[in-house]
Structures are given as structure tokens and as C-alpha cells.
Structure 1
Amino acid sequence: MSSVADGRATPETPSSSLLFLDLDDVIALNTHYTGRDAARAVNQPTRVPPDFHERLFARGAVAALNQLLSEFRPRVVLTTSWLRLLERNGFLSLFEHGGVHVGADDLHPVWEAPEIYGLGRGASIQRWLAKHYRGEDVLILDDDCSGATLRETPWMRQGHVLLCQEGVGFHNGLLDAARAAFRTPFGPRSVWNPPPRLR
């Protein structure tokens, strides 16, 4: 069963899916505005340019992401570098104004997986999974640059990682691969061991 909030169905039981979501080059292409612009907009809302919320996130990427969210209703964990700039409510405000269907109830209770300095995105997600994974289906949505360390992970080989092209972002052409990721069993023992840091 589900309830309805803001015109969208919301599940009454916890989601069985997890989406690890980056923003840069996934839905924010940095063509007009960047994460720093987003932080300024949240902190100084009276000084937001008229076109800011329309142009911060790419319309096609948002539409594709919203389609995925409507089909699987995952709990979302943010992995973006914008975590250094914004708090939870700031993200929720940007999503609301930018048409991204991620509300407070859609974020996982542990909603952030900040990057571990020097180790990259893969290590931060592994640390999160070690503490909070409860058997959900998993999709990691990132980009070629910040998600580079994900290429050597078992998650990539199993099809649970989608790396968007820089300057292109998420789009309808990636939806089938994203659906397949959620439908493919995720092995909780798929541990990635990052290389040791050079001293």
C-alpha cells in the first residue's frame, strides 16, 4: 500500500533499493551554474538569479532521474562533492525548486557518504555500506571523473555502477542499464580494497 504526498505515491514500508547519487555531470552539468553557486543561492535566497533554478540542473537529466525514482522509489544517499558546501535542508530546497523528485522521505536516514580524502568515491561508498547496508538493491550513479575509482570495483563488474559522461549527464538512454542494476542481486561481500596510500 502507499500514501500520497505532494501528488506522488510514497511507500509505507522502507524501500528495498538504494541509490548513491552524485550531482556534478549526472544532473548538474555546470554549464550555467556550479555547486558553489548553489551554496550561495541557499545561503542568500534573495540574490538568486531569475534563471538559477531552471538552469542549475539539466532538464533532460532530471526527467530521466525522476522516471527512475518513480519506478523504484529508492532511498537516496548523496555522494556529491557538494556535501562540503551544503546541509541536508539546502539540498532539499534545491531539489524542490529544480524539479528533482527527492524529498525528505526519499533520503536515507544516513543520507550522505562524503568522500574520504585521498581515496575517492569508492572508499566512501564502501565505508557507508559496511555500516548501513541492509540487503537492498543498489545503483551507484556517478560520472567518469569523480567516479574513476569505481571502475575497478566488483560493483562495476556486476553492473551496479553507471558512470555518466562529463558534459552529458544522465539521460533516457541509460535508463535500461539503471533498471538492470536495481534488478541485479547485490552481493554484500563485494568488498573493494583500495590501494594503500603512498607515504
Structure 2
Amino acid sequence: MSNATQPQNVQQMKPIIFLDIDDVLCVHRTFNTRQVLAALAGDETVDADEVWQQIFHPAARENLRALDEEFNPIYVISSSWTLHLDPQQLRETFQQTGIGFVADNLHQVPFTPRDEDSYRLVEIDAWLDTYLAPTLSQAYATSYLIIDDVVSGQSLLGSHLEDRTVFCDAWTGFTYPKLVTARKILRGEMN
């Protein structure tokens, strides 16, 4: 194997995490994308420090950090937040909220294709078909995991992607038991 292809192969070995935001990281009943956009714009009607401290649940952030430290994944955002924030705004949000590792490891195509009428199964399948399909002929050179919630991810239930999905509960987020499930899925795929 030449050195020129080695970085690409190393990149392919990293798992991909399709990450939803609402009810996975953002479980706060008052803070949402409106407050994030206002904080990013420097709008003085919102307390930016409070937004950055409270928008994402601390335990969900720490559980995602633990998963990141163990598997060093690449992230693709599969969330309604992508209808409101562009990639740079999401990167800044991740940096401001203490999960800069997500911003630092976003895929070069960081969002699943999404519109007002799409649903998660179609969005993730479209992304996989476009960006992962070339590696599928290499016996799943890249593993992947979906972290979603039972509401926005309901199309994943009973689908061919269900076994690769961690379903978070509404208003609860990415809890420690969900982290355990995520680890099992990724360890199973990488063996």
C-alpha cells in the first residue's frame, strides 16, 4: 500500500456518527435554535453565556465526549437544526457549548440532505448512498451509528437501520444507558 492511500484508509476506519440534536443533546424546554441564532448574532436580548451553558444537557455532552474519546468518529448532523443553522454556525455552537470535538470532526459533507418534508430514514439513506457506497464494496470499511430520538427518528424504527440506531427519549437525551448501547453497536461493527 502506498503512503498516498494510507491517510484515506485511516480516514475510512473511523466510524461515522449521524447525530441528531433535539432530544439528544438539546433537552432544554426553553432554549432552542432561535436563542442559538440570537447568541451567534450578538443579540443582547439573550444572555449568550446562559445559552451556551444550558442549550445542551451536561450529561449528554459528557456521554458524547466519552464516545468520541473511545472511537474518534466523524460526525454527520441529521437534525432539523440544519434547516436553521449553516455548517459554520453549527461549528461555532459546538465550540461554544464545550463539544468542539464534534466541530473538529465533521465530515466534509456535514449534513444529511434535508428539507421540510423529509424524514430521517430517507435522509440518512441518501447520505450513505452518496458518500459511503464506494466503501461498501470493501466489506464495510466504515462503520456507522445513528443517535436520534424516538420522535424525529421514528422512521428508523423497524427499518434496516434500526440495529445501528440509539433511540434517546424525549426531554432526556443521550444518557449513560444510551452511551452503553452506542458502544455495543460500534464495538460489534468494528469486530
Please, what TM-score do these two structures have when normalized by structure 1?
A: 0.80
Q: Is this contact kept in 2: 1:42–1:90, CA < 8 A?
A: yes
Cross-structure match for 1:79: 78
Deviation at 1:104, TM superposition (A): 4.3
Structure 2 counterpart SS, 1:89: helix
1:140-177 CA deviation, whole Å, 9 max, x = no partner? 00001100101021121xx2101100000001121221
2:31 to 23, 30, 33: 33
Q: 2:156 is matched by which residue type in structure 1?
A: L
Q: 2:170 is matched by which residue type in structure 1?
A: E
Q: Is this contact kept in 1: 2:120–2:152, CA < 8 A?
A: yes
Deviation at 1:54, TM superposition (A): 0.6
Structure 2 counterpart SS, 1:122: helix
Q: Is this contact kept in 1: 2:73–2:105, CA < 8 A?
A: yes
Identical-residue share of aligned pairs (%): 27
Q: Is this contact kept in 1: 2:94–2:103, CA < 8 A?
A: no
1:137 to 143, 151, 154: 143
Cross-structure match for 2:119: 120
Structure 2 counterpart SS, 1:109: strand
Q: 1:177 is matched by which residue type in structure 2?
A: T
Cross-structure match for 1:7: none
* Structure 1 stretches lacking a partner, 5+ long: 1-11, 187-199
Q: Aligned pair 1:70/2:76, yes or no?
A: no
Structure 2 counterpart SS, 1:173: helix
Deviation at 1:45, TM superposition (A): 5.5
Q: Distance in 2 between matches of 1:45 and 1:92?
A: 19
Detail structure 1 runs of 4+ shifted over 6 Å in the superposition. none
Q: Distance in 1 between matches of 2:75 and 2:176?
A: 19
1:152 to 1:109, Cα distance in 2 relative to 1, 3 A: same
Q: Is this contact kept in 1: 2:120–2:155, CA < 8 A?
A: yes
Deviation at 1:32, TM superposition (A): 3.1
The two structures, once aligned, show a CA RMSD in angstroms of 2.0
Q: Distance in 2 between matches of 1:162 and 1:106?
A: 20
Q: Distance in 1 between matches of 2:168 and 2:103?
A: 25
1:177 to 154, 177, 181: 181
1:32 to 1:95, Cα distance in 2 relative to 1, 3 A: same
Q: Distance in 1 between matches of 2:100 and 2:69?
A: 8
Tell which deviates more after alignment, 33-42 or 145-154: 33-42
Q: Distance in 2 between matches of 1:130 and 1:144?
A: 23
Higher helix share: 2
Q: Is this contact kept in 1: 2:149–2:170, CA < 8 A?
A: yes
Please, what TM-score do these two structures have when normalized by structure 2?
A: 0.83
Q: Distance in 2 between matches of 1:117 and 1:85?
A: 11
* Structure 2 stretches lacking a partner, 5+ long: 1-8, 136-140
Q: Which aligned pairs between 1:1-199 and structure 2 lie closer than 5 A?
A: 13-14=10-11, 15-44=13-42, 48-49=46-47, 50-133=49-132, 134=135, 135-156=141-162, 159-185=163-189
Q: 2:32 is matched by which residue type in structure 1?
A: T
